[in-house]
Structure 1
Amino acid sequence: MTFQENLIRARSHIVFLAALGVGLGLVLWLEGMGEQPMATVMIPDPTTRLEAVDPLPLAIVGESSERDLEHARIAWTYFENNVDEGTGLVNSANAYPSTTMWETGSYIVAILSAERLQLIDGEEAEARIGKVIDSLGKLRLFDGKLPNKAYHTRTLELVDYTNKPSETGLGWSALDVARIVAAMGLVERNHPGLAPEVEALLAGWDLDSMIVDGELMGTNIVAGEIRHNQEGRVGYEQYAAKGMMLFGYDAYRAYEVKENLMVRDVEGIPVPVDTRLHRGTLPAFTVSEPYLFDGLEFGFDARSSRFATAVYEAQEARYHETGTLTAVSESHLSEAPYFAYATIWGGGAPWSVLSFKGERMDSRRTIATKAAFGWNALFGTEYTDELIDALEIAADPEQGWAEGIYEATGELNSSVTANTNAVVLAALAFRASGPLIRSVR
């Protein structure tokens, strides 16, 4: 038998030995070619870049100036004008008799803030909150479990997004429900005498059905069937999780960020962005709003203070780079399509402005009143002072604060809403006494 024939007969052994040698060489290389060999194969943790962000100090002033109080009185005018006398619920936009659990939570925040600013006394605050709780207890729930996505403020009927009665409803929003639950936590902290009413209300809702394996689950109607879907993206998801945790619900996966976080550089600042799609069609976006709510209502934790600082600093950096005042968030618009997400990052690009359907509409970027007041209360920089000065034209003593100023034209975005005026009040209350979760009694 020739040497060549022997090689052929032994080829399987040779292949095995060669593979063994390659494997051994790889192990020796990983162990011996450096002190940190696994760094070349591990997936980097995106939170590490944000951990390097130096959180800005909070700017709690400890008192209210006369200017602050005048600004607060203008914001409170919105609620004096838009609360239904019969039900005690507030219109989501001026003179539009529809609301969601999100806007109802904003109204609760507005009441507590107005009380701290001494625009109303404790007795009036409790009466207003009690009326809201009473009406919430009368709502017909979607699928008999949780509040529908929208209700008529006068009749308490389930409605669609055009405010027309809907027999079945639209489903429930886990984020909206978490917002009203968070507001009820603030009520218990500031008005413990209302705790029995709060507990009775929440006991009548099937809150367990919207948390599955630590995640927040909403519902939609698709082809006549109820579909469950995970809700929340980085920022909103963690804020909502905190609200549920106030009442002992285990929203641990909603509060965590590592699985769904990426970092994008915007004006040289590392900004937190969600890796998941928004409404299944476009990359998720980053806006100011959830970080404002978190700081003003709960007070930041170590992580959210860094994230909020990055989100704010990217906006200030854009101003220094372009000379254009920047304070962006989601906002109602005074013209079609009447709502837009003005992002720090969204739809795959920085500073994109997106419609509900994901269409770009950058000409409608708004210097948002609520973002300006919120950032000014939280961080109180020279830049935020400049924002407040520029937005004085959005103040209407007869109606409340408008949404802001259209960046492209300098014209007023004249839509007037519950959310914006609630954030103004919460911001001014924060300047005086810190986050709403902190009892000042």
Structure 2
Amino acid sequence: MSATDNPIIVDIPFGALTGLGDGDLADYGAQVAQNVLAAVASGSVRAILPQKLYVQSKDMGNRLIVVRVDDFRVDPDWDPSHIAFVYELIEAGYPVTDGIIPAPQAGLLSRDEVSKVYLRAMSADRRYDIAAHGWNHTPSELLGNSFRKDFDLIRGGISEVYRSTGRFPVSYIPPNDAFDKNTLDALTATGTPLFSADKGDLRRFAGMDERGILHVSNTVKFEKSWSGDIPYRTKDQVLDLIGSDNDAVFCIHPRTANSPEKKALILDTLAELSAQRGTRLVNFAEYHAAVSPAMLNVERIRSARADVSVRDWKKPDQYPLDDGTLKADAELAWRYFDWGSKNFNGMVPATSWIESGKQAGYPFATMWDVGTQILATLSAQRLGIIDQPRFETIIMRIVAFLKESNFRYAGGKLPHTERPLGSQGGQREGFDSADTGRLLVALKILDQHTAGAFPIFDLVSGWSFKPVLKGGEMHIVSKNGRVSSAHSNSYAGYAGRGYSLWGESIKPVFDGEDPSRSMDAAIAALAEIQRRGRIATEPHVTEEIELGGSQHGRLMADILYAAQIKRYRETGTLTCASECAMAGPPFFTYQGYQLTDHGGQFVVDTLKTSSKARADKKADKLRLVSTKGAYLWYAARPGDYSEKLIALVREQAKMPGLGFSAGVSERTGKLIEVTDVNTNGIVLESIAYILGGRKPFLLSEGA
């Protein structure tokens, strides 16, 4: 079939596929292809172009013409005539999509009160629709940019339109039809479903690309060119270009319709189009609703991206390095580490609480905890909370601690699952691949930050990871030597990067393509994420501030963040789910979001109970707004919701002299009486990330 540019469409009844396995489906598909090719070769079937098929497939044979009016706010002097022209179209009963320029030379839309009054008033009419039309509306503003620059321009423009109108635009129009691959990748990240840019052919006529963006590019306008006095086509020429059966976009520029004759020409053309049998005039919102089938998972992904990237997002303030509020938060978090190292021989206990009027601590630390202590110490040094000699003393003690004892397996040495911080016994024996992966991330960041000043390479080289990375998969080893794979849990992506940073060969955790550039890959990833179990703020957002994030991790984080926002909108309950220490039994819970076939639910994994009702009741009592989660979201997803989270924990979760509580009870609104190494460490990391210009801790080569 690759020999022809035209697709061959075969309608297969669903019943024909019932009971077929993957191998059977492949055979079935091959047989269909062979039969179709034979039929084409024999002349018994005829070819049909995609747009023709599209027209014939629609109810009542309707073809749709989108009425698009461009360039609102291109020049303040032209705005009154633009507004008057759009009013005239709406009054005549025509639908309109109004292309809004967010930040022309005249200034930001959000500061243009006159335009905002017009847009909000028009939005009450269902015939009126809006589109983001670039950023400044300069000729090539979206050409030749990095993905990051395009994303900032596109996200900024859509956000201006959304916050000024209260409506998320369904469509995006690049200025001068100028765009490239990075433009489309960046638009995908905003969750915008429809793109309108004329490329001079019908290849993007009305098709959904691999990213899940619907392209509608069959654009016809009266302007022959943009030179001189802007010569116009005749009505017959425009109608001929639109044709009699194709869908099309009729693009109108009120600025060039600068005479009564030209306005009458446009109105006459619209009247003739609307009178044609089988033709319906629509705006882009109506067009998208008419031609896009219901796709639950596609909409779930798009909606999450739109919520996170646009609806909730706010451009963060550029905090100065001496920011008082954040610095005070960091200093309080460091109190935990200062107390811990003084009372536990230079190391820091996993958790702490007040007992008989004194601060007590759980005298053990996992390798995850040790990784957190390393990055907390590095953050404190970067923030100026501790000086260089103090930093070096703490790091040398941690390195010595890691060298003191190892778990023996397959003739080699590995970091322990858990280590005591004193002479007491009772620690958990074995090897945990996820916790060690986190430790390896921290050690790599430390080694880069200090330019190899500490014997980190020698330390890591002394561990033998090959036996626990069989087939490139991460494994857990129990104290009696039983081995089990840990490659398919929700922590594997982050943990695996720790091993890769030190040259270990790791099998990809996700087999699929990049979900940010392929909607098929994103849907496949969604199914895999569901199978892997609950997702939580850690480690996916931690990965972003430490390593720059991965596309699968970012997708998980966005799905979770959007679900938290949705729960807050529906219930008024601030939601921030992550693993956390508890003040009493069960002492530790894994709180997260479990995707389901029809949505998802927030779950609390704890001790097993005899009934689901009892488990749910217990979970409701244990639900927390995670303090470290709030700071992570505030760092990585600056916006309305993360500001609410940070305000709550800053107000309710402080434990003077101790650090921050693990979280605030959803039920009571009060902090729980326990603090821990990971809560305070992540608070420090998040603040160092923010005040460091929101750059990942591990710098890429050349950064």
TM-score for both structures, normalised by structure 2 = 0.50
1:333 aligns with 2:582: yes
1:115 aligns with 2:381: yes
Amino acid of the residue matched to residue 298 of structure 1? L
Contact conserved, 1:151 with 1:158, CA < 8 A, in 2?
Answer: no
Amino acid of the residue matched to residue 604 of structure 2? V
Amino acid of the residue matched to residue 405 of structure 2? L
1:147 aligns with 2:415: yes
- Taking the aligned partners of 1:158 and 1:60, their CA distance within structure 2 comes to 49
- Taking the aligned partners of 2:430 and 2:683, their CA distance within structure 1 comes to 30
Q: Secondary structure at the match of 2:349?
A: coil
Amino acid of the residue matched to residue 363 of structure 2? P
1:249 aligns with 2:504: yes
Contact conserved, 2:535 with 2:556, CA < 8 A, in 1?
Answer: no
Of 662, 679, 697 in structure 2, the residue corresponding to residue 420 of structure 1 is 679
- Taking the aligned partners of 1:379 and 1:154, their CA distance within structure 2 comes to 40
User: Deviations along 1:359-398, whole A, 9 cap, x unmatched?
Assistant: 5423211011011110001111121111111112211221
Contact conserved, 2:414 with 2:464, CA < 8 A, in 1?
Answer: yes
Of 318, 332, 351 in structure 1, the residue corresponding to residue 567 of structure 2 is 318
2:605 alignment counterpart: 354
**Structure 2: gaps of 5 or more residues:** 1-27, 40-44, 51-295, 353-360, 516-524, 610-614
Deviation at 1:273, TM superposition (A): 5.8
Amino acid of the residue matched to residue 446 of structure 2? V
Deviation at 1:430, TM superposition (A): 0.8
Higher relative contact order, chain-length normalized (CA < 8 Å, sep 6+): 1
- Taking the aligned partners of 1:25 and 1:289, their CA distance within structure 2 comes to 47
Deviation at 1:274, TM superposition (A): 3.4
1:435 alignment counterpart: 696
Amino acid of the residue matched to residue 126 of structure 1? E
RMSD: 3.3
- Taking the aligned partners of 1:151 and 1:347, their CA distance within structure 2 comes to 37
Amino acid of the residue matched to residue 421 of structure 2? T
Of 333, 340, 346 in structure 2, the residue corresponding to residue 82 of structure 1 is 340
Deviation at 1:436, TM superposition (A): 1.5
Of 148, 153, 160 in structure 1, the residue corresponding to residue 427 of structure 2 is 160
Contact conserved, 1:72 with 1:424, CA < 8 A, in 2?
Answer: yes
- Structure whose CA Rg is larger: 2
Q: CA 1:25/1:209 → structure 2, altered by over 3 Å: closer, same or farther? A: closer
- Taking the aligned partners of 2:639 and 2:656, their CA distance within structure 1 comes to 26
- Taking the aligned partners of 2:541 and 2:30, their CA distance within structure 1 comes to 55
1:100 alignment counterpart: 366
1:136 aligns with 2:385: no
Equivalent positions of 1:194-205 (< 5 A) are 194-195=453-454, 197-205=455-463
Equivalent positions of 1:396-415 (< 5 A) are 396-415=655-674
Deviation at 1:318, TM superposition (A): 1.3
1:239 aligns with 2:472: no
Question: Relative to structure 2, which stretch is displaced further, 323-332 or 120-129?
Answer: 120-129
1:304 alignment counterpart: 553
Amino acid of the residue matched to residue 248 of structure 1? G
Q: CA 1:318/1:140 → structure 2, altered by over 3 Å: closer, same or farther? A: same
2:477 alignment counterpart: 219
Alignment length (residue pairs): 382
1:395 alignment counterpart: 654
- Taking the aligned partners of 2:446 and 2:603, their CA distance within structure 1 comes to 37
Identity rate, percent: 26
- Taking the aligned partners of 2:461 and 2:382, their CA distance within structure 1 comes to 29
- Taking the aligned partners of 1:229 and 1:60, their CA distance within structure 2 comes to 46
Q: CA 1:354/1:367 → structure 2, altered by over 3 Å: closer, same or farther? A: same
Deviation at 1:206, TM superposition (A): 0.8
**Structure 1: gaps of 5 or more residues:** 1-21, 37-45, 162-169, 262-269, 278-283
1:165 alignment counterpart: none
2:441 alignment counterpart: 182
Of 315, 320, 343 in structure 2, the residue corresponding to residue 63 of structure 1 is 320
Of 518, 535, 538 in structure 2, the residue corresponding to residue 286 of structure 1 is 535
Q: CA 1:60/1:181 → structure 2, altered by over 3 Å: closer, same or farther? A: farther
- Taking the aligned partners of 1:315 and 1:187, their CA distance within structure 2 comes to 33
1:42 alignment counterpart: none
- Taking the aligned partners of 1:301 and 1:390, their CA distance within structure 2 comes to 29
Q: Secondary structure at the match of 1:431?
A: helix
Q: CA 1:35/1:136 → structure 2, altered by over 3 Å: closer, same or farther? A: farther
Amino acid of the residue matched to residue 324 of structure 2? E
User: Deviations along 1:272-330, whole A, 9 cap, x unmatched?
Assistant: 763556xxxxxx21111111210121112344333322221211121112111011111
- Taking the aligned partners of 1:231 and 1:202, their CA distance within structure 2 comes to 21
Deviation at 1:187, TM superposition (A): 0.7
Q: CA 1:180/1:30 → structure 2, altered by over 3 Å: closer, same or farther? A: farther
Contact conserved, 2:530 with 2:595, CA < 8 A, in 1?
Answer: no
